[in-house]
């Protein structure tokens, strides 16, 4: 385990809440202070972060309460945390679970403890019985993926995936949090899928009368509505799932529309009935890394568009089937079609994430296709 070196023991930190209407710039800026020297860290887009955090603009906040806290030493920010009360999660799971997220912290147990204690007290005062995280801000709103990276620091993250200093896991454990769940990222490389996988999928599709089609941009609104229904139906039994509201899904579709590659967003149908889907995005992080300050304007947008043409990776963001069709083994068919389409369009690698560590069927399937686990993220929990 990483050893925590406490550089700040001699000087106490002060926790300050950023009140509604207050500037979130210091909260956003701290990510650069703590990470910009890491060659594998990809800066977030400031505009995206500002929108996610905005209680008035982002639909997540309509069904949640979020508080933002800064840890400061002599006026200098050294840590941050969001305390999150997700009412839709607790209603769906019949729990009293609060969350923390957007965690950034210097290498100091003192500072980490102050941040976690503050978030815990805020949640406890609202009747919560446990704290879980990091969630950023939920499993649906991925400012970045859930958990902290604990394995796989040697490569940059793909789009919407987390990357953090190696000491974060040990830091959270040092203040009393324990592992609740790991999620992993699987890397697929190479120009050809194994022939046995190709033949097996052809038989599966024929036997079950399955056709696979891409997203229809000319009927984008209708297909978005269809994907919304498929997502909420297919993921309902998964750990951590919370149904997406219409406003959340519409916001997500609006965000994805400029970057989506319709050929990589697939809908599976049986006798004309939509039964499953997969959503894959080009790894825009390959272009975003050329915007070290995270600013799109005035000139960053042109650098982004220039480097976007050179993107060679994709990330399978989500995949699922209606419960009545989950036993048919159709997941490999969507992965295979994505792989084959991606290779044809010039992509050379793909990531499937985030996959629950105990989703053994999915992991075995990806391994049979030649995938390997190359990153691991840990979600922590503690009773309040």
Using the CB atoms, write b or e for 223-255: b if 16+ within 10 Å.
bbebbbebbbbbbeeeebbbbbbeebbbbbbee
197/366 Cα distance (integer angstroms): 11
Given this model, what pLDDT does residue 1 score?
43
Task: Give the strand pairing for 313-321 and 349-356.
Answer: parallel
Residue 252: the pLDDT is 86
pLDDT computed for residue 7 by the predictor: 46
Half-sphere exposure of 106 (CA within 13 A, CB side): 19
Joined tokens for residue 297: 């304007």
Query: Are 188 and 351 within 8 A, CB to CB?
Result: yes
Which CATH class, in words, describes the domain spanning 14-184? alpha beta
- The per-residue pLDDT for 3 is 47
The pLDDT of residue 241 is: 87
Map out the domains of the chain as residue ranges: 14-184, 188-376
Q: Widest CA span of the chain, in angstroms?
A: 69
The CA-atom distances, in angstroms, between 275 and each of 69, 201, 213, 268, 327 are 43, 16, 12, 6, 12
DSSP strand pairing (76-86 vs 273-282): unpaired
- pLDDT confidence of residue 2: 47
pLDDT in tens, 230-272: 999 988 778 888 888 889 888 888 888 888 899 999 999 999 9
**Fold held by 188-376:** Aminopeptidase (3.40.630)
How confident is the model over 19-44, as pLDDT tens digits?
999 999 999 999 999 999 999 999 99
- Residue ranges in the chain whose pLDDT is less than 50: 1-10
């Amino acid at each position: 385990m990483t050893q925590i070196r406490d550089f700040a023991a001699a000087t106490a930190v002060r926790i300050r809440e950023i009140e509604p209407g207050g500037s979130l710039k210091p909260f956003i800026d701290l990510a650069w202070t703590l990470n910009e020297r890491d060659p594998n860290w990809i800066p977030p887009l400031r505009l995206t972060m500002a929108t996610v955090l905005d209680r008035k603009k982002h639909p997540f906040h309509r069904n949640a309460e979020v508080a933002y806290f800064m840890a400061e030493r002599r006026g200098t920010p050294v840590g941050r945390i969001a305390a999150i009360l997700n009412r839709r999660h607790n209603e769906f799971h019949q729990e009293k679970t609060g969350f923390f997220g957007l965690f950034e912290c210097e290498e100091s147990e003192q500072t980490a403890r102050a941040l976690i204690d503050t978030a815990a007290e805020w949640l406890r005062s609202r009747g919560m019985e446990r704290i879980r995280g990091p969630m950023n801000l939920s499993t649906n709103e991925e400012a970045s993926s859930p958990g902290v990276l604990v394995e796989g620091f040697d490569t940059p993250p793909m789009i919407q995936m987390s990357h953090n200093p190696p000491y974060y896991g040990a830091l959270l454990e040092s203040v009393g949090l324990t592992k609740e769940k790991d999620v992993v990222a699987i890397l697929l490389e190479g120009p050809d899928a194994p022939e046995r996988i190709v033949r097996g999928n052809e038989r599966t599709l024929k036997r079950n009368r399955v056709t696979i089609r891409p997203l229809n941009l000319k009927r984008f609104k209708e297909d978005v509505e269809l994907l919304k229904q498929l997502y909420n139906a297919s993921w309902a039994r998964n750990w951590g799932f919370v149904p997406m509201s219409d406003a959340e899904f519409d916001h997500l579709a609006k965000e994805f529309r400029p970057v989506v590659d319709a050929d990589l967003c697939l809908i599976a149908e049986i006798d004309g009935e939509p039964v499953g889907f997969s959503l894959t995005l080009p790894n825009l992080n390959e272009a975003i890394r050329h915007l070290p300050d995270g600013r799109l304007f005035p000139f960053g947008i042109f650098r982004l568009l220039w480097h976007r043409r050179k993107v060679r990776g994709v990330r399978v963001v989500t995949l699922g089937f209606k419960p009545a069709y989950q036993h048919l083994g159709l997941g490999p068919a969507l992965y295979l079609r994505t792989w084959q389409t991606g290779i044809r369009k010039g992509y050379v690698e793909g990531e499937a994430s985030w996959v629950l560590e105990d989703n053994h069927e999915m992991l075995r399937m990806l391994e049979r296709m030649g995938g390997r686990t190359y990153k691991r993220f840990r979600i922590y929990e503690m009773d309040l």
